[in-house]
Structure 1
Amino acid sequence: MSDDISGLIESMMRQVPDFPEPGIQFKDLTPLLADAHGLAAVTDALAECGEGADLIAGIDARGFLLGAAVALRLGTGVLAIRKGGKLPPPVHSVTYELEYGSATLEIPADGLDIRGRRVLIIDDVLATGGTAAAAVRLLGDAGATVTGAAVLLELTALNGRSVLEPLAVTSLLCV
């Protein structure tokens, strides 16, 4: 990615020490997303990753914001990948392990056919890769072809990219 977009993200990202627990340096992207220029710039950069995709999937919750903006830019639809229990049945779901338990992701199974669709996954942060890997599995189980994943920020020390191999992953800023 270009140094310009990386610099923009870095300059607009708020650092919050000791959140959500002591020793964690939280990277808050809210100021970037609340800025019209910042949002437009990251939308354009993420949209470059969507060539050939006919559906954008945003992961709950900031991925919804970014995914919708990218889908509009590309002229595609957007699919919200929700946390478990947020959608009425029937749903496609996948449960995956977290370092402190498990979580579930869901998409509608009725009224939405994504078989054969080429899907780009969008999210704000790639950390351990568990949620993104679960999203890939969920979309694949529903019959879609995941073309790649694109995120604003990658926390490289957590090595989430390796969990997604061989999927193409684009990060606008790696820290």
Structure 2
Amino acid sequence: LLHAQCLQCLRSSHMDLCHVPTTQEKGWYLALMAPNIKGPNYAWLDPSRLYCHPQGLQDCVADLLQPFQGDPIDMVAGIDAMGFILGAAIAATLRKGFLAIRKAGHLCVQTLVQPYTDYSGREKVMEVRTDAISPGELPSWLGRGRCRGGHWALSYSLCPLPGLRTLLVDQWVETGGTMRAAIQLVEQLGGVSHPCVPTGVATICIEDSEGGRWIQERYKCCHCVP
């Protein structure tokens, strides 16, 4: 899956985390994930070392955001647990808020829940607190009244905000079950009149699976592994 430059780097399991290639081809940082010494039971490479590399992490985030430049994004949602790392980095880069989608059983407040089947075939539940997002209102100035006693009488109405446009982030999408459940959970937030609107998916890799294809057919997606 990785391009030729990365494949050459995969031979080294002790890559210098301060080293940046002189020629930085797109996705150069993917080599930082190697190696996989545990065989085909692990369908992914571990990005932990990529996150430790300052330039690698910055370039990864920049590549994931490139297709969304100019798109309105109000919030970033990350999936427990490794999706928190990329999601928080993306939210900080965009200067947006971050919604944590948690594994069930960790929140001491009222929650919305969504069952799903993960990549290993296990039945699980994810949750998010019900009051994580409160539909807001913004003043919409309709005009100025007459000047009375030296003061302007301003007239305005309160117009509800549209649904929050949300970019969903996870580390890896294998079968798509986890991401699909996160999309369904986000859509429940904010109620019927002010729902959250999933506008895209960003992840290091989307596997060529039925669930992965379902997501890519319905949402704007960006992934680093070609």
- Alignment partner of 2:84 out of 39, 45, 64: 64
- Alignment partner of 1:45 out of 63, 69, 72: 63
Q: What is the TM-score when the length of structure 1 is the normalising length? A: 0.86
Size of the aligned set, in residue pairs, is 168
CA spacing shift, 1:26–1:6, aligned 2, 3 Å: same
Instruction: Quote the Cα distance in structure 2 between the aligned partners of 1:28 and 1:88.
Output: 31
Work out whether residues 15 and 26 of structure 1, in 8 Å CA contact, stay in contact via their aligned partners in 2.
Answer: no
**Aligned ranges 1:135-150 → 2 under 5 Å:** 135-142=182-189, 143-150=195-202
Q: What is the TM-score when the length of structure 2 is the normalising length? A: 0.68
Instruction: Quote the Cα distance in structure 1 between the aligned partners of 2:43 and 2:178.
Output: 20
Instruction: Quote the Cα distance in structure 2 between the aligned partners of 1:61 and 1:46.
Output: 19
Q: Which residue of 1 aligns with 2:147?
A: none
Q: CA deviation at 1:148?
A: 0.8
CA spacing shift, 1:137–1:111, aligned 2, 3 Å: closer
Work out whether residues 57 and 81 of structure 1, in 8 Å CA contact, stay in contact via their aligned partners in 2.
Answer: yes
Higher-Rg structure is 2
Q: Residue 134 in 1 paired to residue 169 in 2? A: no
**How many percent identity over aligned positions?**
29
Q: Which of the pair is proportionally richer in helix? A: 1
Q: Residue 162 in 1 paired to residue 183 in 2? A: no
* 1:51-86 residue CA offsets vs partner (Å, 9 max, x unmatched): 311100011112111111111111111111111111
Q: CA deviation at 1:13?
A: 1.1
In structure 1, what residue type is equivalent to 2:180?
A
More RCO (CA 8 Å, sep 6+): 1
Q: Which residue of 2 aligns with 1:118?
A: 165
Secondary structure at the residue paired with 2:35? strand
Q: CA deviation at 1:111?
A: 4.8
Which structure 2 segments of 5+ residues have no match?
4-24, 136-161, 190-194
CA spacing shift, 1:82–1:125, aligned 2, 3 Å: same
Q: CA deviation at 1:93?
A: 1.1
